[in-house]
């Protein structure tokens, strides 16, 4: 059976607030644990007004304390924004309080220039050097010790969409999470294959490990899934145009608004990034993609409008895969 995970953005639904979005993420994590999902990760997005997930470490602490066994992780911490030493300390605190349950997913998206300047004060340290430093801090291999010193270490995952991230993950001996939802081309299979072939064991990981992440819109019927997907289409258009309103558009708003001819072209392109349908349809496509990549696990991004729709979607998918609720 494929191990399934969740990556949640903490979307702020139309008519809702950031506080409500973060509390909905908490309920989604608790429900995912109950359903039998393996990992629950949260994102780091800046200057996306419709998303409340800007500080994964802070939210992870709350989620880990609100659950009992599901692994809690970052998808991911954008390392170029920060000091590797401080990231190591943050995750050692998390690991100390919740041993063998913490995942450190890292990426290098610099977000908006002003955001990056505000976060790191224009420090320019090569990404590969930051990764090396971070690994040393997590394994006490640096003269400067990151505290607290703990007996266990978080799992370290590198996020990526291309060959450079795969080669870096392989060279540094980290696990690799490939964002199929961002780049669903056949070249991704070659990227993952390169990672496996060039993987060098590290103190944190002895053999290659791969997660494939997908956008999934799941509902009881294909027709319902299509209605939900239209709101997702509209949200992506907003985000990609950099005029995003401070909420995730509702299904009703998307249906009433419609799309222009130019927008329809963008929607058609974005639809290639999604899996949409009833649970059995989505399950079959997830299994196909997992086999294509030889994935160890698949992460679902249920980034749809409405907390109830997100809850129902992951429940239907868990049932389709034969998961037994706790």
Give the residue extent of every domain in the chain.
Answer: 3-221+275-320
Query: Region 52-65: what's the mean pLDDT?
Result: 97
pLDDT in tens, 237-284: 998 886 778 999 999 999 999 899 999 999 999 999 999 999 999 999
Q: Which of 55-59, 120-124, 142-146, 172-176 has the lowest mean pLDDT?
A: 120-124
pLDDT in tens, 107-120: 987 666 677 777 77
For residue 122, what pLDDT is reported? 64
In 161-288, at which residue ranges do the beta strands (DSSP E only) sit?
175-179, 210-219, 274-278
Please determine, looking at this structure, whether the domain spanning 3-221+275-320 carries the CATH number 3.20.20.30: yes
* pLDDT at 293 exceeding the cut of 70: yes
Query: Region 285-289: what's the mean pLDDT?
Result: 97
For residue 46, what pLDDT is reported? 87
pLDDT in tens, 147-195: 999 999 999 999 999 889 999 999 999 999 999 999 888 899 999 999 9
User: Is it true that the peptide bond before 47 is cis, omega within 30 degrees of 0?
Assistant: no
Query: By C-alpha distance, which of 61, 106, 60 is closest to 81?
Result: 106
For residue 47, what pLDDT is reported? 86
Name the DSSP class of 249.
Answer: P
Query: Region 39-64: what's the mean pLDDT?
Result: 95
- Using a 10 angstrom Cβ sphere, with 0-12 exposed, 13-18 middle and 19 or more buried, the burial of residue 45 is buried
pLDDT classification of 125: cutoffs 50, 70, 90: confident
For residue 111, what pLDDT is reported? 60
């Amino acid at each position: 059976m494929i191990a399934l995970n969740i990556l949640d953005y903490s979307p702020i639904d139309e008519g809702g607030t950031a506080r409500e979005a973060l509390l909905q993420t908490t309920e989604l994590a608790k429900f995912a644990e109950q359903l039998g999902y393996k990992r629950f990760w949260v994102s780091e997005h800046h200057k996306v007004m419709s998303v409340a997930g800007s500080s994964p470490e802070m939210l992870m602490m709350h989620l880990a304390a609100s659950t009992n066994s599901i692994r809690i992780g970052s998808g991911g911490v954008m390392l170029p924004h920060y000091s590797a030493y401080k990231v190591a300390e943050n995750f050692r605190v998390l690991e100390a309080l919740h041993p063998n349950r913490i995942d450190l997913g890292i990426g290098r998206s610099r977000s908006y220039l002003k955001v990056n300047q505000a976060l790191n004060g224009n420090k320019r340290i090569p990404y590969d050097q930051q990764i090396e430093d971070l690994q040393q801090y997590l394994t006490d291999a640096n003269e400067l010790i990151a505290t607290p010193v703990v007996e266990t270490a978080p799992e370290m995952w590198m996020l990526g969409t291309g060959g450079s991230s795969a080669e870096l993950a392989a060279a540094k001996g980290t696990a690799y999470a490939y964002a199929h939802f961002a780049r669903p081309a056949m070249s991704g299979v070659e990227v993952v294959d390169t990672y496996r072939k060039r993987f060098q064991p590290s103190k944190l990981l002895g053999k290659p490990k791969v997660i494939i992440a997908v956008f999934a819109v799941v509902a009881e019927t294909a027709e319902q899934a299509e209605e939900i997907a239209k709101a997702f289409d509209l949200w992506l258009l907003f985000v990609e145009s950099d005029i995003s309103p401070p909420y995730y558009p509702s299904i009703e708003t998307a249906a009433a608004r419609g799309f222009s001819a130019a927008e329809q072209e963008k929607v058609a392109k974005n639809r290639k990034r999604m899996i949409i349908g009833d649970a059995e349809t989505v399950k079959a496509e997830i299994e196909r993609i997992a086999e294509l990549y030889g994935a160890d696990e698949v992460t679902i991004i249920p980034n749809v409008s409405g907390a109830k729709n997100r809850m129902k979607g992951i429940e239907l998918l868990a049932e389709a895969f034969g998961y037994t609720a706790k």
